[in-house]
Amino acid sequence: MHEPAARSPVHITMHPNDNVAIVANDGGLPAGTRFPSGLTLHESIPQGHKLALIDLPAGAAVVRYNVTIGRAARAIAAGCWVHESLLEMPVARSLEGLPIATVAPPATEPLQGYTFEGYRNRDGTVGTRNILAITTTVQCVSGVVEHAVKRIKAELLPQYPNVDDVIGLEHTYGCGVAIDAPDAVIPIRTLRNISLNPNFGNEVMVVSLGCEKLPPARLLPPGTFALMDERGRAQARTGPDVVCLQDAAHVGFMSMIDSIMATARTHLQRLDARRRETVPASHLVVGVQCGGSDAFSGVTANPAVGFCTDLLVRAGATVMFSENTEVRDGIDQLTARAANPAIAAAMIGEMAWYDAYLKRGRADRSANTTPGNKQGGLSNIVEKAMGSIIKSGTAPISGVLSPGEKLRDRNITGGLVYAATPASDFICGTLQIAAGMTLHVFTTGRGTPYGLAEVPVIKVATRSELARRWHDLMDLNAGRIADGDATVEQIGWELFRLMLDVASGRKKTWAEHWKLHNSLVLFNPAPVT
C-alpha cells in the first residue's frame, strides 16, 4: 500500500441539505486552512470531526445525512468545530405514526451466474466451512471440553483433512439461571440454533454435566433437528449424541475425555466425507456488523457494504443487519422500506421491546456511543445510527428475526432481513451465528481485531491510515473512497468478489489466518438466581 502524498484540504458532505461536513485529511486540519470553496477553518479540527458549513444560530438543527443529529447548544460560526459538547441530542422518535411500507422497491435486475464452493447440508442449508462443533449445556463442562478439543486437534483432526476445525461452543449459561422466566427463551434458543449453524454440517454432539437446569433434552428436544444416516435416511433415535460427565460409567477424568473423543470421531468421519460443491450465490447467508466505528464508517465502509448488500440480495442471498440501538433513530426509514405492513409491525415490535429493556435498566439508546466513537468524530447515537444503517443498502426489508431465532424458523431463504440484536459486537455476532450466518462482514474505523471461530469474518477498514497500520488484520480498505482512489461501487464489488472467495475457502481472512476468536456471548435478558 502506498503512502499518500500530502493532500489538499478535503471535507466530506453526505447530502446537499447538510449544514456540517467532516474533515477527511489524515491528522486533521489546522486553524486557518482554506478550502477550495473559500471556507476557512477558525480552529484546528481532527480527522473525522465536523465543521460548520454555514453560521448556525443557537438552537439551530445540525444536519448530517439529511437528518437532524442535534441542536446547536450555542451559536457556531461557519468554519468552527461542531464538537459533541455543542450538540444537544434529540429525543428518540416515537414508534407511533411511522411510515409503513411506503417506499417502492428499487427497480433492480436479478444478478445471475455467481456461485461459490460450499458444503451442502442435509437440511438444505449450505456451509462455508466444515467444522465439528461440540455443544455444551452448561459452563461447568468447559474446562473438560477445552482439554478434549486440544487432544482432538492434535490426535484426530490430522486424520480428517477435509474438516476445517474442531471447536467447543463455550458459554456461561445453563446453571444458576431462572430457566422458566419468559425471557429465558432467548438464551435457550440461541444455544440451540448455534449448534444447528450450517457451518457445522448438521453434526450435533453435546457435552452435558448432568445436574444443570438446561439438560440436553431441553436444549435440543425431539424434532429440533433430523438425525440422518449416511444415506440420508431418518434414524430412529431422536436425541443428539450426548456425553454426560456425571454418568456413572465415567470413572476418572480420562474416561470423560475418551468418551468425548470417541463420539467426536464418528462425527469427524462423516464431516470428512463431505466435499465442496458449486452452488449459486443465493445460498450465502451474510451477517453485517460494525464496531469501533468512526465518522468515516458512514462515509466509506458502510456505504460499500450497503452496495454489496444490494448485490447479494439481487443474487438471491440472505443478508442480515442488526444492532437495535444503531437503527432506532432511523426506524422511520426502515418501516418505510418494509416489504409489507406485517414486516413493519415486527420491526416496531422489536424496537418497542428493546426500548422497554433499556428502560428497565434505567438506560436508553444514548448509552451506545463509546469514547472511541466520539474521538473518531461521532457525536452521538443519532449520527452513529445514520452511518450504521447504510449497511442495509436499499432493498426492501423482507424478514425480521427476534433475538436467537434462526432464519429457517421463519422460512426465510433470501432477501434483506433485520435480525434484532444488541449492538455489542460479540452478542450481535453470536445471535447472527444462531440465525444461520455463514459469512460475517465487519466494518471498523477505530480498529478491532474481532474474529469468530464459527464463521469467517471479513474486516473492512473505514480509513486508509488504519488499513496501513493494521495491514495484516484488515481484509479490505474502504478508506480509498475518502482518498478519492475508488468509488463506493468499486469497493462494493470488490467486497462481493472477496466474499465469494472467502465463502469458497479459496481465501482466508486475516482473523482466520491468525486464529483470532472472540468468545460467544449470549444475550440473556432473564434473571439469574
Binding residues vs Ca ion (CB under 5 A): 291, 423, 425
For residue 377, give the C-alpha cell: 468524530
Q: Of all helices (H) and strands (E), which one includes residue 285? A: strand 285-290
148 or 423: whose CB is closer to Ca ion?
423
Q: Smallest distance, Å, CB 462 to Ca ion?
A: 14
148 or 290: whose CB is closer to Ca ion?
290
69 or 327: whose CB is closer to Ca ion?
327
Q: Smallest distance, Å, CB 266 to Ca ion?
A: 38
Nearest to 460 by CA among 431, 424, 515, 502: 502
Name the closest residue to Ca ion (Cβ).
291
* Residues in a beta bridge with 67: 64
Q: Smallest distance, Å, CB 446 to Ca ion?
A: 12
* Vertex 327: Cα angle to 324 and 330 (nearest 5): 150
Nearest to 199 by CA among 129, 263, 108, 135: 129
Q: Smallest distance, Å, CB 415 to Ca ion?
A: 22
Q: Smallest distance, Å, CB 289 to Ca ion?
A: 5
Long-range contacts for 159-162 (Cβ within 8 Å, ≥24 apart)? 159/268, 160/268, 160/269, 160/271, 160/272, 161/272, 162/130, 162/271, 162/272, 162/273, 162/274, 162/275
127 or 291: whose CB is closer to Ca ion?
291
Q: Smallest distance, Å, CB 194 to Ca ion?
A: 18
208 or 443: whose CB is closer to Ca ion?
443
Beta strands in 104-224 (DSSP E): 115-120, 126-127, 131-136, 165-169, 205-208
Amino acid at 186: I
331 or 431: whose CB is closer to Ca ion?
431
Give the list of residues 6+ apart from residue 343 with CB closer than 8 angstroms, or none. 101, 397, 398, 399, 400
As a whole number of angstroms, the distance between CA 425 and CA 428 comes to 5
Q: Smallest distance, Å, CB 427 to Ca ion?
A: 9
Q: Smallest distance, Å, CB 113 to Ca ion?
A: 33
Distances (CA, A) of 249 to 140, 145, 148, 252, 256: 19, 18, 18, 10, 9
* Residues in a beta bridge with 416: 319, 397
238 or 518: whose CB is closer to Ca ion?
518
